[in-house]
Amino acid sequence: MLSDRTVRNLSDAFLRAAHATLVRQAGDQCAIAPASAAWAESKCGGGILLMTISSFTFRLITMFQVADGEPTRHYYTAGAAGKTLDETFSEFANMCCGALGRELYAQFPHIGMSIPYLLEWQCARHLRDLNPRMLSSYDITIQGTARVKATLAVCCERPLEFDPPVREAAQAGGELELL
């Protein structure tokens, strides 16, 4: 259903989006490591933030969980008085999915994006009930202290090929930082 190349391209597009948007300032260090689905389903914060990008024949579901510790809270909520960590982070998740959507748009002009929705963390383990053809989870650490769990699930009933145009930045800068 999904070729290895498509899986790699979708992962890369998601990681580029995460790298570019989950930091408060360009230049903040962002380390991303692949993680197991079981790890992604465990509790580390208040809830999970769900967002969907849909096209006619496929949908991408992204799931984020921000760690409930002080370093993560401080990183994302500094300067956002009166907002909870989940509220503040939903804006970052929105930007991340927007960036991923733009990458997809180059090949799939008919796509749309949902708004974020917060669910209890225990819902995460049921993501596989949606029968995703691809399920990738990542442990994201920003500035060495703020932690985010991110998962990308791809659901489709028809073969999907994703070959984004080659990016100049990727060519110049080489591989994405994967620690």
User: With binding defined as CB under 8 A, does residue 160 bind other proteins?
Assistant: no
Minimum Å distance from CB 122 to other proteins? 4
26 versus 56: smaller Cβ distance to other proteins: 56
- Write phi, then psi, for 170 (nearest 5 degrees): -65, -35
The tokens describing 48, both together, are 């999970």
What single DSSP character describes residue 176?
A: -
User: With binding defined as CB under 8 A, does residue 104 bind other proteins?
Assistant: no
User: With binding defined as CB under 8 A, does residue 55 bind other proteins?
Assistant: yes
For other proteins, the binding residue among 39, 117, 157, 170 (CB under 8 A) is 117
User: With binding defined as CB under 8 A, does residue 111 bind other proteins?
Assistant: yes
Residue type, 140: I
User: With binding defined as CB under 8 A, does residue 93 bind other proteins?
Assistant: no
32 versus 66: smaller Cβ distance to other proteins: 66
Tell me the DSSP string of 66-133. Answer: E--SHHHHHHHHTT-TT--HHHHHHHHHHHHHHHHHHHHHTT-S--EE---EEEEGGGGGGGGGG--S
Could you tell me whether strands 146-156 and 117-120 are parallel, antiparallel, or unpaired per DSSP bridges? unpaired
112 versus 144: smaller Cβ distance to other proteins: 112
Minimum Å distance from CB 1 to other proteins? 18
